[in-house]
Structure 1
Amino acid sequence: MMWLTWRQFRMQGAVALGALAAFGVFLLVTGRNMRAGFAEIRAACGSGCGDSLNSYVQEQQTLAGLVGAVLIAAPALLGMVWGAPLVAREVESGTHRLIWNQSISRTRWLLVRLLIVGAAAVLVTGVLSLMVTWWARPIDAIAQDRFTPLVFEARGVVPLGYAAFAFAVGACTGLLVRRTMPAVVVTMAVVLGVQLLVPLAVRPHLMTPTTATVPVTGPEDWSKSGITGVGLRHRGSGSDTRLEVTVSMAGDWVVSGPGTAVNASGKVARGAEICAHQGFPPRADCIEAMKIRVDVAYQPKDRYWTFQLLEAGIYVLLAGLLTWGGTAWLRRRPA
């Protein structure tokens, strides 16, 4: 059974290895050039390199986005190309009748194919993830945005769980619809839907966020608050003027949206309390003297790998449930 599976998928495996090698060469060349660029900047400016490094990171964002997109798309493509035809092609060609009339059981036939080809899909994705994580390490160290959805899904162990899930979706879809092209289309729709749903509806609820009340200083003195960025916006007018605050924190994932500034007693600060009489933006000394602050909910950066493992575990669990359901259904369906 293992030999037959290898014979049937050796061409797809060879193509995948070739594509993986070509992409690895591309990442090696561009990654070394990028590291040389960072080293040149640091050598030229010494310890005060923040602005120059950030500018260089911005220049690399287009390439970084394309590299991340390849890794995000790879598991879905493997689920469509390897998973969907796994059973559907056998049913379409009628060879399943010959195979199922041999001494090997249907369940064993399916499990062997799922394990061998599925493990290959996870392995390919894992190697891609290692290469992309190495390639993007200098950018991630400066940008401090690993929780950003498109970045989070293209690093660490999440792509491995995603590959297992996408492959299981493809295989089980092919088992149910028994036609390759419809199975490919359904697989693409399901995987894309889950990929959009998880960052929006699942990931924010995996762990209870940490809450903090941070002072809102003036634009000239934001660094004193311990946050890396503050966006201020006026709402209302006159004595009802309120200050809407957006906070960003390096490496942390701020899950709360823009918050309304409050005064020392915890009530919404209005009018003179936010120095509205001074115009916008307010002066740092005035707004700091008023002790204006805002409530922030965030996931600390030290939870990054916990989130990675939790999300990868969810995908693996879903893949296991799909595999169990597929084998149970196969045992009961007629030839």
Structure 2
Amino acid sequence: MTTLTRDPVRTAPAGSTRNKWIPRLGGPVWLIWRQHRAAFWTLIAVTLLGVVAMVYLRGQMMDYLSAQEPTSRRSGGLPPEFETHVDRLRSIAGYFSFIPVLAGVLLGAPLIAGDLETGTAKLVTSQSVSRLRWLTMKLAVPATMLALSTGILASVFTWWWQPAKGLSEGLIWTSVFSVTGVTPVAYALLMFTVGVAAGMLLRRTLVSMVVTLGIVVAIEFVWSELWRSLGHIMSINTDKGVGSGAVPPELPLEAEQQGQGTYFLTGSGDRLGWTTCLDQVENDRAHTTCLQSKDIVGWSIDYLPVDQMQTMQWLGAGIMLTLTAAIVAFVLLWGRKRLL
């Protein structure tokens, strides 16, 4: 009779050796991943798809630019076909505006509100896990995933945009200010924490999502109106008159004009609107006399230069991260005492 013996290595559970060196999640981190794994895997999938798409589109753009004469690239004389690549860049930039909305409404708002609504929060904190530890992990895991995802997407988009920078008026730096550099990461984290705070206070998932959506839209409107004030507005002036043969000053490359347009500059340094003496423009002599009577010596234009872009982005990100930290502190302090 043949005696069968068992090899302990072969009969061991498959995961015991195969995953020997793979770290395993445990405790609150495992629970949080388990609860929100659908959202996390969706975030990972979207990030991978976005990276692949942008790498592919950048490759097409670089092939197109390589086929052009270097002089045409420097002088901005690229054929109209280049606008196809510009439109692609702008379209992807437009999709970035949805990231803060999704971070606040779909990830932040249900995070704690869902646990309060279903009773999961009470069950978890009745075990050996303290409220503070549970809240900290509840915030840290999704925030880390969100920051990594947004940071990767923003970095790849910036890498795509850099070679096309300054080659088209449609790609002026102000059009991609909020989707390049560190700004998207700080923006997404701020909206995420806003959603978390709303969910903790309202304690109902659907209500929290609706309220968060309203807050996010309001913040986006305020940001779109105020972010240019983070920079220092420069002025370029002329003093050679505004009559026949005189031309307004030309802005530096990639600069964005600010204000209401071109102003008239007086000898004393004051500025007058471009409509000054407009009612007499049909009569050259009367128009010239009017301009002279107001001591107008040239033009003046306000603008934001491209070299302020990174400074403005870091300043804006610093403000948003400060607000994020304040909201996180509120969530932890409030939740520690009044969560249940």
Which band: TM-score by shorter chain? 0.7 to 0.9
From 14, 26, 48, the equivalent of 1:21 is: 48
Change in Cα spacing, 1:59 to 1:332, as seen in structure 2 (3 Å) is same
Amino acid at match of 1:30: L
Quote the residue 1:210 is aligned against: 234
Q: Does 1:140 align with 2:165?
A: yes
Q: Does 1:101 align with 2:126?
A: yes
Quote the residue 1:110 is aligned against: 135
Q: Does 1:165 align with 2:190?
A: yes
Deviations 1:115-169, CA, capped at 9 Å, x for gaps: 1111111111101101111122233232375542x41111111001001101101
Q: Does 1:35 align with 2:62?
A: yes
Unmatched tracts of structure 2, length 5 or more: 1-27, 289-294
From 153, 173, 186, the equivalent of 2:178 is: 153
Contact 2:256 2:305 in 1 (8 A): yes
From 316, 320, 326, the equivalent of 1:321 is: 326
1:99, 1:118 → 2: CA distance? 20
Residue 47 of structure 1 and its aligned partner are, at CA, apart by 4.9
Q: Does 1:74 align with 2:99?
A: yes
From 194, 215, 226, the equivalent of 2:219 is: 194
* Aligned-residue RMSD, C-alpha: 3.2
1:294, 1:300 → 2: CA distance? 18
Quote the residue 1:128 is aligned against: 153
1:35, 1:219 → 2: CA distance? 44
Of the structure 1 ranges 183-192 and 304-313, higher mean CA displacement relative to structure 2 is found in 183-192
Change in Cα spacing, 1:191 to 1:57, as seen in structure 2 (3 Å) is farther
Change in Cα spacing, 1:255 to 1:13, as seen in structure 2 (3 Å) is same
1:28, 1:219 → 2: CA distance? 51
For residue 265 of structure 2, give the secondary structure of its aligned residue in structure 1. Answer: coil
Unmatched tracts of structure 1, length 5 or more: 229-248, 283-289
Length, aligned pairs only = 300
Deviations 1:180-203, CA, capped at 9 Å, x for gaps: 122122222211211111231x32
Contact 2:200 2:339 in 1 (8 A): no
TM-score with structure 1 length normalisation? 0.78
Amino acid at match of 2:30: W
Quote the residue 1:286 is aligned against: none
Residue 36 of structure 1 and its aligned partner are, at CA, apart by 1.3
Change in Cα spacing, 1:54 to 1:87, as seen in structure 2 (3 Å) is farther
From 248, 264, 276, the equivalent of 1:261 is: 264
Quote the residue 1:312 is aligned against: 317
Change in Cα spacing, 1:164 to 1:103, as seen in structure 2 (3 Å) is same
Amino acid at match of 1:86: L
1:38, 1:309 → 2: CA distance? 31
Residue 278 of structure 1 and its aligned partner are, at CA, apart by 5.6
Q: Does 1:8 align with 2:35?
A: yes
1:78, 1:18 → 2: CA distance? 15
Of the structure 1 ranges 47-56 and 185-194, higher mean CA displacement relative to structure 2 is found in 47-56
Contact 2:235 2:302 in 1 (8 A): yes
Summarize the alignment of residues 149-298 of structure 1 with structure 2, pairs less than 5 Å apart: 150-200=175-225, 202-214=226-238, 225=249, 227-228=250-251, 249-264=252-267, 266=269, 277=283, 292-298=297-303
Contact 1:161 1:316 in 2 (8 A): yes
